[in-house]
């Protein structure tokens, strides 16, 4: 799993990023080169994250977490980000 520590945490929520803005958004997070180089893995299923399969980006304890577009992975990571214990 790739961990990225962000120097500055932004104090705003972004609910969606349009496809046309995705590369700029990933550049701002210093993730575009990692995605294009196949270096990012989904923390749940370990699949390689690409521009086509990014499903969820969140911060957890100052770390950017990028999840694939698989709904099971999304729900697992969302529970973790929200601090919900596994059932």
Over residues 25-40, the pLDDT tens digits come to: 899 889 999 999 999 9
Q: What is the pTM of this model?
A: 0.73
Task: Give me the residues paired with residue 59 across strands.
Answer: 64
Q: pLDDT tens for residues 31-78?
A: 999 999 999 999 999 999 999 999 988 887 788 889 999 999 989 988
Does the structure show a pLDDT above 60 at 6?
no
Two structure tokens written together for 17: 């990023």
Using an 8 Å Cβ cutoff, are 27 and 36 in contact?
no
Q: What percent of the chain has pLDDT over 70?
A: 78
- Say if residue 3's pLDDT is above 80: no
Q: Where are the domains of the chain?
A: 16-82
């Amino acid at each position: 799993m790739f961990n990225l520590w962000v120097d500055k945490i932004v104090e705003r929520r972004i609910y969606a990023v349009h496809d046309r803005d995705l590369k700029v958004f990933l550049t701002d997070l210093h993730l575009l080169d990692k995605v294009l180089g196949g270096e990012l893995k989904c923390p749940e299923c370990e699949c390689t994250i690409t521009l086509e399969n990014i499903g969820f980006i969140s911060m957890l304890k100052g770390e950017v977490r990028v999840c694939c577009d698989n709904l099971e992975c999304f729900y697992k990571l969302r529970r973790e980000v929200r601090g919900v214990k596994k059932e």
